[in-house]
Amino acid sequence: MSSPLLVLRQIVKNYGGVRALRGVDFDLRAGEVHALLGENGAGKSTLIKIVTGAHSPDGGTITVVGQRVVDLTPATARALGIACIYQQPALFPDLTVAENLALRLDATNMHARIDWTARRARATSLLSRIGAAISPDTEVRALSMPEQQLVEIACALGSGARIVIMDEPTASLTQKEQRLLYAVVQDLRKNGVGVIYISHRLEEIFALADRVTVLRDGQSVGTHAMGDINEAGLIRLMVGREVAQIYPAAQSAPGASVLSIRGLGCKSSGVHDVSFDVRAGEIFGLGGLVGAGRTELARILFGLTPADSGQITLAGKILHLRSPQDAVAHGIAYVPEDRRRHGVVLDLPLAQNITMAVHRRLFPKTWLRFGAERVLTLNYIRDLAVKCAGPDAHGSSLSGGNQQKIALARWLATQPKLLILDEPTQGVDIGAKNEIHKIIRRLAQEGLAVILISSDLPEVIGMSDRIGVMAQGTLRTILPSGSDPHTVMAAALGTAA
């Protein structure tokens, strides 16, 4: 084997109090495809960000082709021949393909002359090298997502990168495009390029990769040659730990069915044929990988992207949800995933945040009733044990866990029939996480139907009474409470393990 292109030793990265990486070792050789595998939140994307220079590590060393690199920035990373193809291509939509390539590849100065013929020729040759039938004169806006990804790949090729990182490159590709991509990867390998390949599709990893490194909880749990390991072994490595945390257990059986959806789908968000029931007092967990369509499903149920097929029945009534107002009126509450952008308005006081969804009920004559608002806010602050300076404190002054409690309080105030929680404990410290778990269990105990979307495998297994696993926009299977993590992961990965 040839000399290593990239060596990472003992990489540590903390975000505030959260240890995202705790001493990761990784190496990449020339002419190999090295797969990186792990659950959501295992630290893959953090590791990638460190290699591309987007974030600097808090500890450890990076060596590129035998040279120790300190202070890696995006610019130096590019200069060292590191290129990354992200899941969501970051191109300029109003500019043409040729132009996008040029903006990325040419280090230009303001008065440089642009040679359109050369640009176009290069774009054509790069695109044809990866077998993509895209005209260099098309505006990127007009390209489909996979086509844009191909442009990104062409860009990486054009930069003459020695290290190419592919972050779930096939997530949105069709079969034909996937085959094209595989060919490109083989081509890169033949040319001595090192490829770091991130994917959740195990069959893909077995088909392409030479070696695989599995990350878990910010640590590497082993690097193996593909020949030495099978699918079951990989899943075991990924899941590994036992469900160590104690989750509050259900104390009574769930009641009657509250929500019932049949054949639900929405073309624009890629969700199709989803059917399940949620009963009163039940926590229905939705597991799956990022991009499996769970948030999209929640958005349909909350009226943000109206469904175009199927049926939603809530408490015996068939609903046609056209807007969030409809959903709220029927007693559906949604605590969104992006807390800081959607869940809480950071520049408003807590009181206003909490009463935002209950204007109609709390202020029936549209006049604000500050006393009532205060009482309600204080009740929730007390009830959910929110640590804050009072109802007038702004959302931005709170920690993540407490912001999450405020977002939760807003929806509890609506006295919903169905509560959808989207990654309620993401980026929350352990203590607050435990508290939120207790709150969720208590709410279910009180008879609320809860849908819990979580990428945290132990959480979704520990909290849920039943676990629906989604993949590729549809519900794959429903597993009972306390299922084996391996089974859940296998279902999410789409393998029949």
Partner 1 sequence: MKRYFRELSVVGTLLAVLLGLALFAPAFFSPQPLLSLVTREAPTLVVAAGMACIIITRQIDISVSSIFSVCSVCAGLLVARGWPLVLVLPASVGLGALFGAFNGFLVAVMRLPSIVVTLATMVTLRQGLNLIRQGEFVNLPDRVQWFGLSQTAGQLVLVGFALVLLVTLAWAMRHLAAGRYLYAVGTDAEAARLAGIRPQLVTLFVFVFIGSLTGLGAMMNLAQSPQVQPLTGNGLELKVIAAVVVGGVAISGGRGNLWGAFAGLLLLACVSPALTHLHIEAYWEKAVQGAIILLAVVADGLRSRQSNR
Partner 2 sequence: MSTAAHAPASYLRPRRDWRALLTRHEMLLLYVLIAEWLFFYFAGTSTNRRGVIVGFGTWDRQFDILRHSCEIGLLALALTPVIITAGIDLSVGSLLGLCAILFGKLWHDGGLPIPVAMGLTLGIGALAGALNAILITALRLPPLIVTLGTYSLFRGLAEAITRGSITYTDFPEKFLFIGQERWLGLPTQAWVFFMVALAMGLMLHRTTFGRAFRTIGLAPEGARYAGLPVERRLALAYVLAGLIAAIAAIIYTARLGQAKADAGTGYELFAITAVVLGGTSIFGGKGTILGTLLGVAAIAVLKNGLACLPVVMRLNAAEEMSGLLTGALLLVALTASVLPKILSNLRPHRHTSAQSTPQLSQ
Of the candidates 136, 225, 150, which has an alpha carbon nearest to the alpha carbon of residue 183? 150
Nearer to partner 2, 23 or 324 (CB): 324
Quick one: which of 302, 260, 254 has its CA closest to 280? 254
Instruction: Tell me the residue type at 264.
Output: L
Min dist CB 108 to partner 1, Å, is 4
Closest CA to 275 of 309, 302, 324, 304: 309
For residue 159, give the nearest of 75, 45, 86, 34 by alpha carbon. Answer: 75
415 burial class (0-12, 13-18, 19+ CB within 10 angstroms)?
Answer: exposed
Number of shown-chain residues binding partner 1 (CB under 8 A)? 28
Q: x/- contact string, 1-20, with partner 2 (CB under 8 A)?
A: --------------xxxx--
Question: Binding of partner 2 at residue 79 (CB under 8 A)?
Answer: no
Q: Nearest distance from residue 386's CB to partner 2, in Å?
A: 7
CA distance 206 to 178: 14
- Closer residue to partner 1 in complex, CB, 91/237: 91
- Nearest Cα neighbor of 346 from 384, 400, 422 is 400
Range 104-138 burial, b when 16+ CB lie within 10 A, else e: bbeeeeeeeeeeeeebbebbbebbeebebebebee
Q: Rounded to whole angstroms, what are the CA distances from 173 to 41, 139, 147, 289? A: 23, 20, 8, 17
Q: Which among 30-38, 126-134, 141-149, 361-369 is the span making contact with partner 2, rule CB under 8 A?
A: 361-369
Q: Which listed residue (7, 327, 413, 443) binds partner 2 by CB under 8 A?
A: 327
Residues 6+ apart with CB under 8 A from 312: 259, 260, 261, 264, 301, 318, 319, 321
Question: In whole angstroms, what is the distance from residue 55 CA to residue 292 CA?
Answer: 27
263 binds partner 1 (CB under 8 A): no
| Contacted by 107, from partner 1, partner 2, none: CB < 5 to 8 Å by type | partner 1
Structure tokens at 76: 């130096």
Paired strand residues for 495? none
Q: Give the range of 1-9, 46-54, 138-146, 195-203 binding partner 2 by CB under 8 A.
A: 46-54
Which helix (H) or strand (E) covers residue 300, if one does? helix 294-301
Q: Which does 137 bind (CB under 5 to 8 A by kind): partner 1, partner 2, none?
A: partner 1
Window 268-287: contact mask with partner 1 (x via CB under 8 A): x-------------------
Contact in structure between 442 and 434 (CB atoms under 8 Å): no
What string marks each residue from 359 to 398 as x (binds partner 1 by CB under 8 A) or -?
A: ----------------------------------------
What part of residues 283-302 is at the interface with partner 2 (CB under 8 A)? none
- Cβ proximity to partner 2: between 243 and 348 the closer is 348
Question: For tokens 């499996």, what's the residue?
Answer: 292
Does 139 engage in binding with partner 1 (CB under 8 A)? yes
- Taking the C-alpha atoms of residue 87 and residue 167, their distance in angstroms, rounded to an integer, is 6
Of partner 1, partner 2, none, which one sits near residue 112, judging by CB under 5 to 8 A according to partner kind? Answer: partner 1
Q: Cβ of residue 86: shortest distance to partner 2, in angstroms? A: 6
320 lines the binding site for partner 2 (CB under 8 A): no
Nearest in space to 298 (alpha carbons), one of 273, 262, 334, 327: 334
C-beta closer to partner 2: residue 211 or 330:
330
Residue 363 near partner 2 by CB under 8 A = yes
Sheet holding 194-198, edge to edge: 82-85, 163-167, 194-198, 33-37, 211-216, 219-225
Which of partner 2, partner 1, none sits in contact with 141, Cβ below 5 to 8 A by type? partner 1
308 phi and psi angles, rounded to 5 deg: -115, 0
Write the CA distances from 283 to 276, 299, 444, 486, integer angstroms.
Answer: 13, 18, 7, 21
Asked whether position 68 contacts partner 1 by CB under 8 A, the answer is no
Could you identify the residue written with the tokens 């930069």?
Answer: 159
- Answer for which of 1, 107, 246, 496 binds partner 1 (CB under 8 A) is 107
Residue 86, interface with partner 2 (CB under 8 A)? yes
Single residue of 15, 16, 75, 442 touching partner 1 by CB under 8 A = 75
Size, binding site for partner 2 by CB under 8 A = 62
> Per rule CB under 8 A, is residue 375 in the interface with partner 2?
yes
**What residue ranges bind partner 2 (CB under 8 A)?**
15-18, 46, 49, 52, 54-55, 74, 84, 86, 88, 90, 304, 323-325, 327-328, 334, 336, 339, 341-348, 352, 356-357, 359, 363, 366-368, 370, 374-375, 378, 381-383, 385-388, 390-392, 399-401, 403, 410, 426-429
Question: What residue ranges bind partner 1 (CB under 8 A)?
Answer: 74-75, 90-96, 99, 102-104, 106-114, 116, 137, 139, 141-142, 268
